């Protein structure tokens, strides 16, 4: 098989080829390793997808297991033993964890080989990957545009063919939105179905790991080996049944609900057009499409930007310079920290970027004495209302469909000066995060020559239903992502 042919294979196809003996795991790994290493070596001239790439000779032993040694790119924030795990932050620069995240270990046990760590927004806070201490990631569809975030490195790497597939995390849209902006598939599973142990936390009650892949079948295959209860994560749950590889070709009788709150105002016309075309395609496949109401969804973003920063302000307290990571013991002028508070202050001043500081301050304020009920308490009540909205909608329809992001990939620097405009990127994805339900983004067309994402969401643990619907639509839409490959 030629190197080009190898790169044409989806991850599932590659695993099959390895199992059939027509492709060696080492050959596949080397091909991707070379491409990833070239991007890393190119620095700002490349896409800057990676913060670490496996070295020469890192070629895995011929791997057993269902994943057959297919290389995997892993978002920087997953702890990988002895491999830099920095969560896109200066404060963790060069940090080598003494243990590997449960989900990564699970995938390695199933035969995945660690290819690279991917760039991301610092501590997963961002929607453009412009908040990384290790530089912006560029969108392979247009180098002057963002790949989305926070799993921007993972999405760009898969879209560009620098990795067969990748792990990301989604807190308010951090898998789905970059998948949409890069024209690939991204799935956020039901909260609790994938262990969070070893994921450097952003917001504990929202964070969830998921696959970023070229197609829906790959997403199913990777997810199949990710889910499962973990004794190290008290919030993890046993997935009922198994994730199955999707086979549906039709959507006969499937009831798709379109929430008017997430499919109208604030969405770019080109995105809406591609979205409506996809709905028409769904109808042609036999789906019944109806309008539904999520009356509290417009408040989701406000609630999210209280809850997530509140949890983050506490989760990020451990970065104090005492045990690991950066310790700013002296000023740039060489003046020693005068006391403990000074060391804390300098470490966190130097180590965290502006967006992280902004959210720590927001969260600290929201939790402070006298404000807790007005902010955190109220946000939690909104969260409950949103969950109730979804519950009642899922009594009427099987799945909900919306655009994934309100716009196609925007230009680098376009929204960095306006945090609120940046936060609006998560408008369609945050409600599902707050409700803890699964959602997938698949590419459904182009607008201005850039990919548009379609989001499909279902009730908790409906991943198989979701994957089948996404698969049927994907087959019929025939989106071609090959042009993004470098």
Residues that bind other proteins (CB under 8 A): 77-79, 85, 87, 92, 95, 97-99, 101, 196-201, 203-205, 231-235, 310-311, 313-314, 316-320, 322-324, 340, 344, 364, 367-369, 372, 376
Q: Which residues pair with 292 in a beta bridge?
A: 259
**Is residue 174 annotated as part of the catalytic site, yes or no?**
yes
By DSSP bridging, strand 71-75 and strand 165-170 are parallel
Catalytic one among 10, 75, 154, 193?
A: 75
Catalytic one among 150, 193, 313, 462?
A: 150
**Is residue 357 annotated as part of the catalytic site, yes or no?**
no
By DSSP bridging, strand 450-457 and strand 50-53 are unpaired
Least distance from other proteins to the Cβ atom of residue 84, Å: 12
Long-range residue pairs from 19-26, CB within 8 A, at least 24 positions apart, any chain: 19/68, 24/62, 25/60, 25/62, 25/63, 25/68, 25/69, 25/70, 25/113, 26/59, 26/60, 26/62, 26/69
Closer to other proteins by CB, 51 or 464: give it: 51
> How many CB atoms within 10 Å of residue 265?
10
Least distance from other proteins to the Cβ atom of residue 3, Å: 36
Residues 417 and 373: their CA atoms lie apart, in Å, by 30
Least distance from other proteins to the Cβ atom of residue 9, Å: 32
Catalytic one among 128, 151, 174, 193?
A: 174
Least distance from other proteins to the Cβ atom of residue 322, Å: 5
Closer to other proteins by CB, 203 or 442: give it: 203
Least distance from other proteins to the Cβ atom of residue 369, Å: 5
Closer to other proteins by CB, 75 or 224: give it: 75
Q: How far is CA 135 from CA 5, 89, 370, in A?
A: 31, 10, 39
Coil vs helix vs strand at 258: strand
Residues 440 and 456: their CA atoms lie apart, in Å, by 5
**Is residue 85 annotated as part of the catalytic site, yes or no?**
no
Cis peptide before 150 (omega within 30 of 0): yes
Coil vs helix vs strand at 207: coil
Least distance from other proteins to the Cβ atom of residue 81, Å: 11
Closer to other proteins by CB, 318 or 381: give it: 318
**Cβ–Cβ under 8 Å, residues 157 and 47:** yes
| DSSP letter assigned to residue 317 | G
Residues 313 and 301: their CA atoms lie apart, in Å, by 18
- DSSP code string of 381-425: HHHHHHHHHHHHHTTT-SEEEEESSSSSPPBTTSSTT-HHHHHGG
**Cβ–Cβ under 8 Å, residues 213 and 168:** no
Least distance from other proteins to the Cβ atom of residue 306, Å: 11
Least distance from other proteins to the Cβ atom of residue 239, Å: 17
Residues 68 and 459: their CA atoms lie apart, in Å, by 32
Residues 288 and 417: their CA atoms lie apart, in Å, by 42
Closer to other proteins by CB, 174 or 441: give it: 174
CB crowding 305-323: b at 16 or more within 10 Å, else e: bbbbbbbbbbbbeebbbee
Residues 140 and 483: their CA atoms lie apart, in Å, by 9
Closer to other proteins by CB, 87 or 407: give it: 87
Closer to other proteins by CB, 208 or 468: give it: 208
Residues 181 and 152: their CA atoms lie apart, in Å, by 9
The residues carrying an active-site annotation are: 75, 150, 174
């Amino acid at each position: 098989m030629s190197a080009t042919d190898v790169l044409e294979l989806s991850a599932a196809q590659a695993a099959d080829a390895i199992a059939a003996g027509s492709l060696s795991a080492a050959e596949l790994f080397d091909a991707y390793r070379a491409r990833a290493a070239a991007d890393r070596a190119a620095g700002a001239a490349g896409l800057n997808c990676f913060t670490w790439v496996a070295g020469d000779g890192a070629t895995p032993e011929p791997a057993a297991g269902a994943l057959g040694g297919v290389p995997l790119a892993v978002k920087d924030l997953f702890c990988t033993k002895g491999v830099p795990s920095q969560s896109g932050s200066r404060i963790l620069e060069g940090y080598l964890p003494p243990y590997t995240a449960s989900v990564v270990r699970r995938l390695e046990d199933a035969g995945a080989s660690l290819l690279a760590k991917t760039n991301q927004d610092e501590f997963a806070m961002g929607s453009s990957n412009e908040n990384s201490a290790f530089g912006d990631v560029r969108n392979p569809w247009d180098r002057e545009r963002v790949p989305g975030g926070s799993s921007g490195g993972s999405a760009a790497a898969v879209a560009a063919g620098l990795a067969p597939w990748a792990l990301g995390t989604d807190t308010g849209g951090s898998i789905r939105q970059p998948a949409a902006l890069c024209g690939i598939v991204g799935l956020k599973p039901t909260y609790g179905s994938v262990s969070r142990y070893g994921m450097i936390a952003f917001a504990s009650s929202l964070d969830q790991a998921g696959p970023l892949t070229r197609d829906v079948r790959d997403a199913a295959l990777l997810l199949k080996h990710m889910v499962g209860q973990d004794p190290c994560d008290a919030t993890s749950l046993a997935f009922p049944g198994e994730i199955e590889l999707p086979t549906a070709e039709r959507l006969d009788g499937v009831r798709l609900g379109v929430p008017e709150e997430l499919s109208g105002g604030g969405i770019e016309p080109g995105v809406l057009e591609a979205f409506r075309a996809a709905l028409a395609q769904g109808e042609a496949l036999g789906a019944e499409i109806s309008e539904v109401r999520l009356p509290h969804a417009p408040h989701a973003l406000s609630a999210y930007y209280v809850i997530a920063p509140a949890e983050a302000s506490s989760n990020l307290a451990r970065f104090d310079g005492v045990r690991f990571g950066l310790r700013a013991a002296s000023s740039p002028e060489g003046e020693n920290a005068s006391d403990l508070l000074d060391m804390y202050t300098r470490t966190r001043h130097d180590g965290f970027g502006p967006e992280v500081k902004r959210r720590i301050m927001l969260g600290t304020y929201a939790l402070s004495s006298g404000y807790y009920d007005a902010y955190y308490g109220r946000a939690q009540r909104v969260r409950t209302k949103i969950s109730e909205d979804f519950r009642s909608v899922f009594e009427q329809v099987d799945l909900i469909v919306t655009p994934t992001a309100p716009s196609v990939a925007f230009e680098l620097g376009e929204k960095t000066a306006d945090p609120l405009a940046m936060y609006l990127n998560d408008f369609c994805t945050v409600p599902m995060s707050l409700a803890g339900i699964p959602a997938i983004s698949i590419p459904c067309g182009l607008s201005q020559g850039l990919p548009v994402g379609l989001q499909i969401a279902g009730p908790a643990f409906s991943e198989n239903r979701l994957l089948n619907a996404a698969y049927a639509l994907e087959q019929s839409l025939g989106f071609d992502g090959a042009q993004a490959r470098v």
